[in-house]
Amino acid sequence: MKYSATTPYRDHDRELSIVKSVQIIQHHVARLIESIGNLDQLSETLQDLVARVLKNGRKDKRQKRLTTYQQIRALEQTLA
């Protein structure tokens, strides 16, 4: 699957929240800036940042509920 700027990143059935991801990056920006001079440290910091975003930056999974119309249609189908 190809990703573009408008395609949300999905990890199985979960999407990343842009707001949560930005908050995680903002929280760790000082450490990121400090590691810019050292390539090994920068690589380690970026890997840690990616792991944190993938772990904590996901959208909350919402329960799927039928709309009222869908509930009525489902009821009609079971009664028919």
Cβ count near 52 (within 10 Å): 15
Domain of residue 35 covers: 10-79
What does the pLDDT average to over 54-76? 83
How large is the average pLDDT for residues 39-48? 95
In a domain, 53, yes or no: yes
The Cα–Cα gap between 53 and 41 comes to: 18
56 strand-pairing partners? none
How much is the CA Rg of the chain, to the nearest whole Å? 20
In a domain, 67, yes or no: yes
* Token pair 């840690």 in the structure block, residue: 48
- pLDDT greater than 70 at residue 75: yes
**Does residue 36 form part of some domain?**
yes
Q: What is the reported pTM?
A: 0.59
- How many separate domains does the chain show? 1
Give the model's pLDDT for residue 65: 79
